[in-house]
Amino acid sequence: MFQNRTSLPRRKFLKTALKAGAAAVAPTVIPGSALGKNGAVAPSERIVLGGIGIGNRGTYDLGCFLSEPDVQFVAVCDVKAARRTAVKKIADQKYGNSDCDTYRDMRDLLTREDIDAVLIATGPNWHAAAAVLAARAGKDMYCEKPCTKNIVQSLELAATMRRTGRIFQAGTQRRNLPHFAFACELARTGRLGKLKAVHAHPAGMSTGSSGWAQPQPEPDKEVVDWDMYLGPAAWRPFNKAHLDGFNFEKGGGLTGGGVLEWGSHCVDLCQWAANADSTAPVEYNPPQDGRIVARYADGVELVIREDGWLPLGSCPVRFEGETGWVEAGDSGKMVLSSPELLAGSKVEEIGGYPATFHVRDFLDSVKSRRPPKASADVACYGHIACHAANIAAFLNRKLYFDPEKHEFIGDPIANRLRSEALRAPWRI
Amino acid sequence: MNLHDLRRGSDGPVPRSSRLLVTAVAGVLLVGAVAVATAAGGAVSQQVSAEERQLIAVLQSDAPKAEKAISCKRLVVHGTSACTSALGPLLDDPQLVSWARIALEAIADPSAAAVLRDGAARLEGRSLVGVINSLGVLRDQEAVALLTTRLQDNDAAVVAAAAVALGRIGHPDGTDALRTTLAQVDAAGRSAAAAGCILAAEQHLAAGQSAAARELYDQVRQVDVPQQQVLEATRGAILARGADGRAMLLELLRSTNRQQFDLGLNIARELSGREVTIALVDEMLSEGAQRPELLAMVIADRDDEAALPALVRAAATRSGPVQLVAIKAIAEVGDVSCLDNLLELATAADAGVRQAALGALETLPGDDVDAELLPRFAGADAASLSALAEVAGRRGLAAANPHLVKLIQGSNDDLRAVATTALGETARLEHLGILISQATGDTGSDRAVAALRSASVRMAERDVCAKQLVSALSEANGPVRSAIIEILGSVGGETALARVAEIARSDDEQLQDVASRVLGEWMTADAGPALLSLATADVDKKYQVRALRGYLRIARQFQLPKSERAKMAQAALEVAQRDKERQLALEVLERYPCRKAFEVAIAAADEPATREAAEATLHKMLERTFEDAIDAEQTAAHLAGGQLPDVRIIQASYGTDEKQKDVTKALRSHAGGLPFAVLSGGGKYNWAFGGDPAPGEEKQLRVKFVIDGQIKSAVFAENEPVLLHRGDNSAKTSETSNGK
């Protein structure tokens, strides 16, 4: 009766001979004048933005947003007073006023009717829960990765975005960089021959728990709101070692690690290359010799490996077909098995993995309602693949996964690790 | 003091004093009994394992809360119905309730649900909200009555939780209760009930019960609830009606309320059906259409050929954004039948229209499009030829090469320029000469050089291409010669490398500058010797730094054996004149520790120019290897200027007395001739040795090795740093004899 947004038709990607490259990061088809780009921005075309949990990465993202003329940043929420103050200073300096409002509780920011969209850059512990809260409040959102802590959160996040009709862009900005997009297109369109394997760099494969640290004196709520910081994570006493939001409870604190942290970029690109944005590998092997090998239903291997990469910068991926291969990394460069694969294509070399294109893609989506490159549906399965690989690593055994039912086959313990209870009052 | 004097105790379940009480180690310990619990496959064994008994004992003891919390987490893997009653009392502890729920939700059997229901009957506040959330997650049918009662609770958070849980459970009694609550005066209660109704309706819709879903959605739409919930219900109501919902959809698309209009765009992408497509096309083309360009995007995304005639019509007859979007939409849903329309638009006076049409022609799918383009060159006017040439280039249409060559050889400058660029994208080896002539001739231009570059980097016959480029060097003027050297760098291969290296050592200052830069950025490791040679031979040292940095870049970044990298670092240290390059060389050693790297660093620590930096490097290499398991600073000081012992691993096994695996090869690989092993996977044996030979049991690594001619044996507890030593001061060493 109705079609899944994951399978939104993009026929040109499937049918045409490859012409990607720069086109992959071209803005949407709406003319700039209609969108209010390049100059005067009508109030009706302005996107009023709020920020939630703006630390190091968030400040970078915010810079990308602030450089877009149709964005007006009006409020920041953070559990840490120092960060609230720092972000307010950035915004106020940008606009030459003192209008940026500050909040300690994101629910207060989300009740503001004037805010259209939010940038969520908390630690991974909060990403999914905050995104769901924002969606229920009618806000679109750009959410840093990893977006979810487990498989069920990934599914719930996507379902919530569909139900609420919100635009969600995962912070996997490599989807909007031309050389990565081009490499994926080579794989997707059969230019490498029948696809055999896609390779992703995990930046570590360990799994661990954030645990329960020695109690330390809890700061005043206005300085650090510990209860809000913990949010959906199980309670534990204050300890400043936990305040590193980047690592706290990543992957639910049970099955996190590099496969999720870096994989939410590299595995995500592999998913794209393998035409697997609405599915996930069906078989996962435990790590051996620094690599986890998973397999899609069509036999394509997903190889998550630490080493053996060409010197193309961080976050490398490699796609191998029967007749060719391509490898790309954060330097903006790529290496092809045959130069002829470039025929007819001009691929802009953009190194340093900037998020500017990804942010623009999100803003255009907010206006057009066309799903952005890293929509919740896309992010859902990329994250599921990472979580499943982590569970195989954690349990140290081979697992079979049913991507339709979203459960492991014949392994109830693995299935228990698909989700984790959230601390009240939070739920998704 | 030597290496083995500095070893510390291995990791254990109790963390080091400076770390968290409970760390990642817990995760490793979990794994063992998992295999036991699932040995039979299928459902989780209800047999109580020793691990579970221990964890239950912790829960029922006076153990610190930290231990109880982590025990809950471990019960996710080890727990059965046997532990749920022990988890129940934890629900009453505000600090442990969330941990207990983690285990209960995971175990998810009837006893876990019963414990949660008991909790829901006696708890209040956040703890009550938590257990209600868990009952919703478990979709516990037996909780419906209890949750229905909680819809009348005085605590709004409890009401909201109960409503969502009932919505998730989807039991008819619960849904009835939600519908009743929807009529309440209290706004918070209505909103809570609406959330539950929407979840319940979603389940009906997924199950194909459209009528039931529609009824629920419609009821929510009729009550006073927040706009977001009205939007959600409206979406559901339209989807539940299928194609019959298109009137409601059009109503949204005509709304002046931005949220409603946006929702309409969303639904227009979700709702399938030819009738829907046609209705959307009609709406887009209607006089009063709001944002028709956005509707055109929706229509393109629907990928329904029913939209094609209208899109072609809009592209031909409309103007402004609608026309542009319609043209681009044709590229998505169109076919060869649109070719003439697009070619005509590609010669339009309006540049925006022209570019949109060229873009559409570039991506229009199908080999038949390529075939149909070729005959159109014959007899075309200049404007059409320009468009055809550009499209041929963008599509990489090699079959158009004769036409492109003809245009290049013609007298129309504009067409020659367009065709040159196009040939850059389509040329085969036999056309390279034409592009070289264009680039090096009197009328050579940046455009021609760019075309030559595009073509050259695509040539599969790399050396043949390079030879032609090398020959062209003598014919080219200064700037073009520099450009050709850069192209040679992009092409790569032996011929190109040899020529660029030669130029880098030539006496032409300008070309030497370009060539040395290109050489320094070479993309294969075989440029190493040329760079080292340049760094060594560069008499006036002008390009020594550049060459040396290029050489070290290869050592740092390219795929090479570690020992090879160390040798390159050694060579660089011998040539380097500045501390900056010496430091870069030492960083290679730090990044890729191996026996040779340690030897080079040790030797460098004996040289006055590098003593301090090399000792720091040794320190970092050891720190990286052992984290804080040894005193890296003291060990580095000890090693500096000394010698590494000769070590050879004879045999290594990992496991228990009964269950062992041979890990000789793996350990040799990890040790690489060093007297210690750098293990992958954070030093965890199970990772480094490809699996756990005896899950849940205490394991050891047993190693027999030769060190400085002496045969030794050593035993290491699981995950202990592996240090192989002469054995004078270690209790680990159990045997010593003479050996070879």
- Residue A255's pLDDT band (boundaries 50, 70, 90)? low
* Phi, psi at B198, each rounded to 5°: -65, -40
Q: Which residues pair with B701 in a beta bridge?
A: B654, B716
How much is the pLDDT for A252?
58
The answer to whether the CB atoms of B70 and A212 lie below 8 A apart is: yes
- Residue B646's pLDDT band (boundaries 50, 70, 90)? confident
**How would you class A142 by CB atoms within 10 Å of its CB: exposed for 0-12, middle for 13-18, buried for 19 or more?**
buried
pLDDT at B313 over 70: yes
Q: Tell which wins on pLDDT, B726 or A332.
A: A332
Q: If contacts are CB pairs under 8 Å, which of residues 488-507 in chain B contact chain A?
A: 491
How is residue B553 written in tokens?
């870049």
Nearest Cβ partner for B102 among A395, A410, A420: A420
**Which of A50-54, A204-208, A320-324 has the highest mean predicted lDDT (pLDDT)?**
A50-54
- Mean pLDDT in residue range B557-583: 92
pLDDT at A19 over 60: no
B99 near A CB under 8 A: yes
- Mean pLDDT in residue range B342-363: 95
B525 near A CB under 8 A: no
How much is the pLDDT for B477?
80
The answer to whether the CB atoms of A205 and B30 lie below 8 A apart is: no
Residues of A in contact with B263 (CB under 8 A): 165
The answer to whether the CB atoms of B454 and A346 lie below 8 A apart is: yes
The nearest CA of chain A is from the CA of B707 a distance in Å of 26
How is residue B404 written in tokens?
């492109």
Distance CA B430, CA B262 (A): 54
How much is the pLDDT for B679?
63
Lowest pLDDT segment from A112-126, B30-44, B390-404? B30-44
pLDDT digits (tens, 9 = 90+) for B449-461: 999 998 998 888 8
**What is the DSSP code (8-state) at residue B306?**
G
B616 near A CB under 8 A: no
Percent of chain B with pLDDT over 90: 60
- Mean pLDDT in residue range B670-676: 74
pLDDT at B637 over 90: no
- Mean pLDDT in residue range B609-638: 75
B242 near A CB under 8 A: yes
- Residue B591's pLDDT band (boundaries 50, 70, 90)? confident
The nearest CA of chain A is from the CA of B508 a distance in Å of 30
- Give the mutation candidate from B301, B549, B668 for the A interface (greatest A CB count, under 10 A): B301
Q: Tell which wins on pLDDT, A18 or B601.
A: B601
SS3 label, residue B373:
helix
How much is the pLDDT for B721?
73
The nearest CA of chain B is from the CA of A89 a distance in Å of 31
pLDDT at B680 over 70: no
pLDDT at A257 over 70: no
SS3 label, residue A302:
strand
- Residue A49's pLDDT band (boundaries 50, 70, 90)? very high
How much is the pLDDT for A109?
98
pLDDT digits (tens, 9 = 90+) for B74-112: 999 999 999 999 999 999 999 999 999 999 999 999 999
Lowest pLDDT segment from A2-6, B127-131, B225-229, B669-673? A2-6
The answer to whether the CB atoms of A165 and B136 lie below 8 A apart is: no
pTM of the model: 0.74
Closest residue, chain B, to A416 (C-alpha) = B106
Nearest Cβ partner for A344 among B35, B198, B396: B396
The answer to whether the CB atoms of B559 and A234 lie below 8 A apart is: no
pLDDT at A306 over 50: yes
Nearest to A65 by CA among A10, A141, A179, A134: A141
The answer to whether the CB atoms of B459 and A340 lie below 8 A apart is: yes
Lowest pLDDT segment from B90-99, B154-163, B657-666? B657-666
Residues of A in contact with B35 (CB under 8 A): 397
How much is the pLDDT for B723?
76
Residues of A in contact with B553 (CB under 8 A): 311
- Residue B337's pLDDT band (boundaries 50, 70, 90)? very high
- Residue B6's pLDDT band (boundaries 50, 70, 90)? very low
Lowest pLDDT segment from A10-19, A190-199, B228-237? A10-19
- Residue A34's pLDDT band (boundaries 50, 70, 90)? very low
Lowest pLDDT segment from A246-250, B14-18, B39-43, B557-561? B14-18
CA angle (A310, A313, A314) in 5-degree steps: 110
pLDDT at B443 over 70: no
**Cβ-Cβ contacts under 8 Å for A66 (sequence gap 6 or more):** A73, A90, A91, A94
- Mean pLDDT in residue range A169-173: 97
Distance CA B421, CA B725 (A): 67
How much is the pLDDT for B357?
96
CA dihedral B97, B99, B103, B108 (to 10 degrees): 40
The answer to whether the CB atoms of B30 and A394 lie below 8 A apart is: yes
The answer to whether the CB atoms of A31 and B687 lie below 8 A apart is: no
pLDDT at B1 over 80: no
Residues of B in contact with A346 (CB under 8 A): 454
Lowest pLDDT segment from A25-29, A152-156, B126-130, B436-440? A25-29
- Give the mutation candidate from B98, B255, B336 for the A interface (greatest A CB count, under 10 A): B98
Percent of chain B with pLDDT over 70: 86
User: Between β-strands A140-143 and A168-170, what pairing exists: parallel, antiparallel or unpaired?
Assistant: parallel
Closest residue, chain A, to B158 (C-alpha) = A425
The nearest CA of chain B is from the CA of A287 a distance in Å of 7
Q: How many CA atoms lie within 13 A of B572 on its CB side?
A: 33
Closest residue, chain B, to A26 (C-alpha) = B359
Nearest Cβ partner for A339 among B20, B265, B458: B458
- Residue B344's pLDDT band (boundaries 50, 70, 90)? very high
pLDDT at A82 over 90: yes
SS3 label, residue B648:
strand
pLDDT at A392 over 90: yes
- Residue A149's pLDDT band (boundaries 50, 70, 90)? very high
pLDDT at B427 over 90: yes
- Residue B710's pLDDT band (boundaries 50, 70, 90)? confident
pLDDT at B440 over 70: yes
Cβ pair B196, B178 in contact under 8 A: yes
pLDDT at A33 over 60: no
- Residue A38's pLDDT band (boundaries 50, 70, 90)? very low
Residue B445 burial (CB count, 10 A): 15
Distance CA B654, CA B670 (A): 14
Question: What ipTM did this prediction achieve?
Answer: 0.92
DSSP H helical segments within A189-262, as ranges? Answer: 226-230, 258-261
pLDDT at B178 over 90: yes
Q: Considering chain B, what is the average pLDDT of its residues?
A: 86
Residues of A in contact with B328 (CB under 8 A): 29
